[in-house]
Amino acid sequence: MPSPLNVGLIGFGNIGAGVVRLLHEHAELIAERCGRPIRLARIADIDTTTKRDCPDVTAILSSDTDGLLADPQIDAVIELIGGYEPARTFVERALRAGKSVVTANKAMLARHGADLMAAAPKGASLLYEAAVGGGIPLIRAIDQGLAANRIRGIRGIVNGTTNFILTRMEAKGVRFKEALAEAQKRGYAEPDPTLDVNGTDTAHKIALLAAQCFQQDIRIGDIKVEGIESLTPTDFAYAKELDYKIKLLGIAKSESPDGPVEVRVSPTLLPASSLLGQVPGVYNAIEIDGEPVGPTLYYGQGAGPKATSSAVASDLMALAACKGNQEPPMRLRIPVGKKNLKPIEDIVTEYYLRFLVTDKPGTMAALSRVLGENNISIRSMIQHGRERAENATVILITHAAREGNVQKALQAIRALEVNKSDPFVLRVEEV
């Protein structure tokens, strides 16, 4: 049997325990498929006393991260501590020492990924299958399975917490806070769910996917991000009447090979019959449109120890399968500083607009006049009676319009006498 791939693990929480468990339970299968075993040689964590749900690893567990990184016997390092620092420093040190790194840390990669790739010397790889989509083999599909394609667009549901909340709001007609409380009770949402519900987690992931698909240095700060906190049961009721679903989407697309890339995150209306529109609960789904392959869809569980450990193990197996002088696998390197992004005001899509207005003659004429002055045409409209006093809610779906024009129109509508509340806007993605 060839010599094992010796691995060090930094971060021994629930995900780390899941990796230990998988490497132990599937050791024979992994060795058979790779042609060599994977050996967990050292584990470093600040907590060395808590009992984890995995085989006993007391003999290799310590708090000595420096010793692990300096150990010449360690071939690859798994980073599972999360956050920006000290994770970034540990990953850079490992790479500069010639050790490959496997990480699930989407936040760190969305801010520092291109820099870390540039720091990796020949022979060291930075692999991150577990950073997006949990157990869905998405990164490798882009890197290898779709390597011959020009990617035209990618859009997806990549946060199970928000998808569960939106599913419950739609099904039960409850408000956001009630659906969030249920998600927390079931363990789907963290005690502090901010990064999930405000769209940041989705933005981390779409930054990685966009950088990979379009070979540009796209980072979290480049992305227009909106969360789901402002959605109401009213929006779900009207979406259903219009035959739409509301999903939090990460979207990246480009109209031409050399054209600018549009990257954004926001709650979005999708046709109810669309595949993405039908994704329930905590599941993830990502649609990639390539040339010549056309649309492809990837679906599965996007989080949790089992899904994440599966993805981590797949990267370790890719490293272990390298033989002799064969170069280890490396994600397509992202050129530092290379980016050509479309300004958010230049994106073009359809829009869902919700207004609370005075229900009297001339109101629709006033709204239509402002929209027309900004080159926005109305595709459909819904109005259901008066809600309180003399006011009514009006829902408009526009034809394709420029974001900058929509924002100018909304600013003008806020100043109209007939307008009684801040207008609410959602973007619409057709199939």
Length reported for the chain? 431
Is 342 a known active-site residue? no
Contacts of 420 (CB under 8 A, 6+ apart): 356, 357, 358, 391
- Determine the average pLDDT of the residues in 398-412: 96
Beta bridge partners of 284: 300
- Determine the average pLDDT of the residues in 397-416: 96
- Look at residues 50, 53, 46 and name the one whose alpha carbon lies nearest to residue 20: 53
- Determine the average pLDDT of the residues in 354-363: 88
Whole-model pTM: value is: 0.92
- Determine the average pLDDT of the residues in 13-40: 94
Alpha-helix runs per DSSP H in 231-294: 233-241
Q: Which fold is adopted by the domain 5-135+305-320?
A: Rossmann fold (3.40.50)
pLDDT tens sequence across 216-254: 999 999 999 999 999 999 999 999 999 999 999 999 999
Cα 34 to chain centroid distance, Å, stands at: 30
What single DSSP character describes residue 215? Answer: T
pLDDT at residue number 61: 96
How is the chain split into domains, by residue range?
Answer: 5-135+305-320, 140-301, 344-428
pLDDT at residue number 325: 53
Residue 331 has pLDDT above 80, yes or no: no
CA dist 330 and 117 (Å) reads: 9
Amino acid at 99: K
Work out the percent of the chain whose per-residue pLDDT is above 70: 96
Mean pLDDT, all residues of the chain? 92
Residue 17 has pLDDT above 80, yes or no: yes
Catalytic: which of 99, 106, 205, 420? 205
pLDDT tens sequence across 159-207: 999 999 999 999 999 999 999 999 999 888 888 999 999 999 999 999 9
- Model confidence band, residue 273 (pLDDT cutoffs 50, 70, 90): very high
- Model confidence band, residue 327 (pLDDT cutoffs 50, 70, 90): low
Lowest mean pLDDT among 2-16, 71-85, 300-314: 300-314
pLDDT tens sequence across 80-128: 999 999 999 999 999 999 999 999 999 999 999 999 998 888 888 899 9
b/e map 198-226, b = 16+ CB within 10 Å: bbbbbbbbbbbbbbbbbebbbbbebbbbb
- Model confidence band, residue 389 (pLDDT cutoffs 50, 70, 90): low
- Look at residues 140, 91, 83 and name the one whose alpha carbon lies nearest to residue 117: 91
pLDDT tens sequence across 299-326: 988 778 888 999 999 999 999 988 655 6
282 by DSSP, 3-state: which? coil
Domain 140-301 has what CATH class? alpha beta
Domain 344-428 has what CATH class? alpha beta
How far is residue 207 from each of residues 18, 53, 147, 287, measured CA to CA in Å? 26, 33, 19, 15
pLDDT tens sequence across 279-290: 999 999 999 999
- Model confidence band, residue 388 (pLDDT cutoffs 50, 70, 90): low
How far is residue 341 from each of residues 73, 201, 253, measured CA to CA in Å? 43, 20, 10
pLDDT tens sequence across 130-155: 999 888 999 989 988 898 999 999 99
pLDDT at residue number 427: 96
pLDDT at residue number 114: 92
CA dist 296 and 290 (Å) reads: 8
CB contact at 8 A, 182 and 278: no
- Determine the average pLDDT of the residues in 244-269: 94
Amino acid at 118: A
Contacts of 323 (CB under 8 A, 6+ apart): 2, 35
Residue 346 has pLDDT above 90, yes or no: yes
